[in-house]
Structure 1
Amino acid sequence: MSFEFRFVRGGEAVKVDEKLIRSCGLDVKPDSMPSPEEMKRLKKAAGDGVDVFCVPSQFIPKLALFDMDSTIVAAETLDEMAEMAGYGAEVKEITRQAMVEGADFDTSLRRRLVKLKGVDAGSLLQPVYEDMKLNEGAEVLIQGLKDHGVKIVLVSGGFTFFTEKVSSSLNMDAHHGNVLEIDDEGLLTGRVINDADIVNGNKKAEHLAYYAQQYGADLSECLCVGDGSNDLPMMKKAGLGVGYRPAPGGKVEQEMSNVIRDGNLATLLKVIGF
């Protein structure tokens, strides 16, 4: 397999600087994916405002999976719920440990949710949704992919209350998330109904394999995008995995070669040549 570099600035593809690539000790058309450290070195050499990518030659996606929180939408929805309930700081720290440092996701989700036990679900869910904003370029990206026949699935460690609405608003093909348990009085129980089958990193990778089979796509024809450590399993299995503005020094930045740092989500259309 051969790979090609792509440079994107301000949402537009720019000419690949072959001399710059060689000066960083890389082949212009490598036969393997450069390491994350090599790509960071190339990004630094390319300068501010330029995102650099290395893509399998002739890569054309048939299927794309996206994380929701801090990827398609700007917020971490559980953090926003906790903020409204008065537990913002402690829940955000647990989220950081899971998303950035790679702490066990299932344990993290349970630790965060229990803080909300007994809180009226209606007082949190709808207000958080109404305040939710899409990340810049999300609508352009999703529409651009759909215009080229790409099937799109939203996979989130967050909650189906949000994934259903976000996926519907963007006309995605499917969505998956965790199902909040709400008692007969409308109060959060501090648990999810699918506690034995939480949408964690491994589950996201399972969804990738399932939908690839459903839509007749080889894994090499799949695009996966996310910002947290629980997105790594699916991103690493896909033909093209891309980290979206991950936390500096976190696991995604350390382990993914392709990362959007400066551009918005629509950058991906230029990366894959759409």
Structure 2
Amino acid sequence: MVTEAAIDAAHAAFAEAGAKVGAIDWLNPGIAADIELFDLPLAHAREVGHRLSDALAIDVAVQPTAHRKKKLLVADMDSTIITVECIDEIADMVGLKEKVAKITEAAMRGELDFIGALKERVAMLKGLDVAALDKVYAERVRLTPGARTLIQTMNANGAMTVLVSGGFTFFTDRVAAAVGFKVARANTLEIKDGKLTGKVTPPIVDSATKKATLQEFAAQIDGGVAAALALGDGANDIPMIETAGLGVAFYAKPKTAAAADVAIRYGDLTAVLYLQGYKREDFKF
């Protein structure tokens, strides 16, 4: 909740830092508000915003007004658009979730080479019946609150929405259809005779692929990368987050949050709409 007291605290903090504080506009009363700032360098204003976020336990974002409503969204899937890491849930089907999850966590923190870690984990799944993937999707995969609203609203406003994942097409294709993404890209698990071979069909989608995907679609819109938003949580999302006009870390690993323009730590995915200036009455469900 964003209270009047929180707004007053923000007003005071930015004014003390030297900003001229302008009008306040409630995007959703009690949930999200805009505060106009003038005469304060962006980097300094963001430092103040970070301190406010910690002190008030709310998300505080500071950004320029130019290109605010984005024309392109490129989003990660696992632990971003959905609440789980699919590969960990697949591993649970063969009793290896704890082992695989440790590798996943280290890779997402940027402590391991992503491609090497992916190959290592997929190799552990060799021989698993493809029916287990259906079971994981049906029983484990859940959309992050606000995911569908985010994508439907941006679609309705003419944005290109792209799901790009270091995970697997088996899941991205289904999640993209459920949420409304216009394009989905991910890795393909090799399957023979109804079972996983323990390999991924090349080329592998990694951090470089994610960045290249953002650049590819940004070249097709007015404003280019400045009009693009990247959304993710792991180390392999950092290159696209740093490239986009607005890079958003969602309940992210520390390295990813540090690289982002905005770190969402308290709200759901509708926060990404408020970042762009959408009001609650603009939302599509």
In the superposition, the TM-score normalised over structure 2's length comes to: 0.83
Displacement of 1:178 in angstroms is 0.1
Match of 2:13 in 1: 20
RMSD: 2.2
Match of 2:245 in 1: 239
Secondary structure of the residue aligned to 1:55 is coil
The one-character-per-residue Cα deviations of 1:114-144 (angstroms, maximum 9, x if unpaired) are 110111122x210111121100111111111
Secondary structure of the residue aligned to 1:180 is strand
Match of 1:55 in 2: 63
Displacement of 1:214 in angstroms is 3.2
The one-character-per-residue Cα deviations of 1:21-43 (angstroms, maximum 9, x if unpaired) are 344x4754444445986543231
Residues 168 and 189, structure 2, Cα contact 8 Å, conserved in 1 = yes
Match of 2:257 in 1: 253
Secondary structure of the residue aligned to 2:69 is coil
Residues 34 and 257, structure 1, Cα contact 8 Å, conserved in 2 = no
Q: Which has the higher contact order (CA 8 A, sep 6+)?
A: 1
Cα distance in structure 2, aligned partners of 1:103 and 1:36:
30
Cα distance in structure 1, aligned partners of 2:7 and 2:155:
24
Secondary structure of the residue aligned to 1:53 is coil
The one-character-per-residue Cα deviations of 1:252-274 (angstroms, maximum 9, x if unpaired) are 12332411100000011111101
Secondary structure of the residue aligned to 2:153 is helix
Which segments of 5 or more consecutive residues in structure 2 lack a partner in the other structure? 20-36, 279-285
In the superposition, the TM-score normalised over structure 1's length comes to: 0.86
- Kindly indicate whether residue 235 of structure 2 is the aligned counterpart of residue 229 of structure 1: yes
- Cα separation, partners in 2 of 1:36 and 1:97, compared to 1, 3 Å: farther
The one-character-per-residue Cα deviations of 1:167-208 (angstroms, maximum 9, x if unpaired) are 11222110100011011x2111111111xx211111100000
Match of 2:51 in 1: 41
Q: Residue 78 of structure 2 is aligned with which of 41, 60, 69? A: 69
Which segments of 5 or more consecutive residues in structure 1 lack a partner in the other structure? 1-7
Q: Percent identity?
A: 36
Secondary structure of the residue aligned to 1:52 is coil
The one-character-per-residue Cα deviations of 1:36-78 (angstroms, maximum 9, x if unpaired) are 8654323123x12x21011221322111011000000011000
Letter of the aligned partner of 1:164 in structure 2?
D
Determine which structure has more spread, i.e. the larger CA radius of gyration: 2
Secondary structure of the residue aligned to 1:74 is coil
- Kindly indicate whether residue 269 of structure 2 is the aligned counterpart of residue 265 of structure 1: yes
Cα distance in structure 2, aligned partners of 1:38 and 1:242:
18
Q: Residue 207 of structure 2 is aligned with which of 188, 197, 201? A: 201
- Kindly indicate whether residue 222 of structure 2 is the aligned counterpart of residue 213 of structure 1: no
Secondary structure of the residue aligned to 2:63 is strand
Cα distance in structure 2, aligned partners of 1:144 and 1:111:
38
Residues 141 and 265, structure 1, Cα contact 8 Å, conserved in 2 = yes
- Kindly indicate whether residue 175 of structure 2 is the aligned counterpart of residue 171 of structure 1: no
Matches within 5 A, 1:149-168: 149-168=158-177
Residues 79 and 85, structure 2, Cα contact 8 Å, conserved in 1 = yes
| Aligned residue pair count | 256
Residues 226 and 246, structure 2, Cα contact 8 Å, conserved in 1 = yes
Letter of the aligned partner of 1:44 in structure 2?
D
Cα distance in structure 2, aligned partners of 1:192 and 1:201:
16
Residues 67 and 226, structure 1, Cα contact 8 Å, conserved in 2 = yes
Residues 14 and 48, structure 2, Cα contact 8 Å, conserved in 1 = no
Matches within 5 A, 1:82-231: 82-122=91-131, 124-131=132-139, 132-183=141-192, 185-194=193-202, 197-231=203-237
- Cα separation, partners in 2 of 1:193 and 1:261, compared to 1, 3 Å: same
Letter of the aligned partner of 1:154 in structure 2?
L
